[in-house]
């Protein structure tokens, strides 16, 4: 099955969404030469999910995402040295001069 990566998804997010388990990540990586575990796929990137990875996953978790129209997307975005947080949390990373 070929899927498209969504905004801010990591490869682990893709595995979780389409198989229900991060344990299937190595099967997915093996089916996608040149893609590595730490890669953040660009939005719309085609990723092959092998049928045996889907069968080995957790259908309850996968169905949760489908039934609730949820998309796991855990990549962190940086913009002008500022961390982007969810909700009311705020934070910054140090700039080149060590200021926070």
Q: How far apart are CA 76 and CA 73, in angstroms?
A: 9
11-39 pLDDT, tens digit each: 999 999 999 999 999 999 999 999 999 88
pTM: predicted TM-score of the whole model, two decimal places: 0.75
CB 53: neighbour CB atoms within 10 A? 22
38-82 pLDDT, tens digit each: 888 999 999 999 999 999 999 999 999 999 999 999 987 766 555
């Amino acid at each position: 099955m070929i899927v498209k990566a969504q905004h801010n998804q990591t490869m682990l997010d893709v595995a979780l969404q389409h198989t229900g388990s991060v344990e299937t990540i190595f099967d997915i990586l093996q089916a996608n030469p040149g893609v590595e575990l730490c890669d953040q796929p660009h939005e719309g990137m085609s990723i092959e999910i092998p049928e045996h990875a889907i069968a080995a996953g957790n259908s309850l978790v996968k169905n949760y995402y489908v039934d609730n129209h949820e998309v796991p997307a855990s990549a962190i975005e940086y913009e002008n040295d500022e961390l982007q947080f969810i909700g009311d949390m705020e934070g910054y990373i140090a700039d080149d001069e060590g200021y926070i």
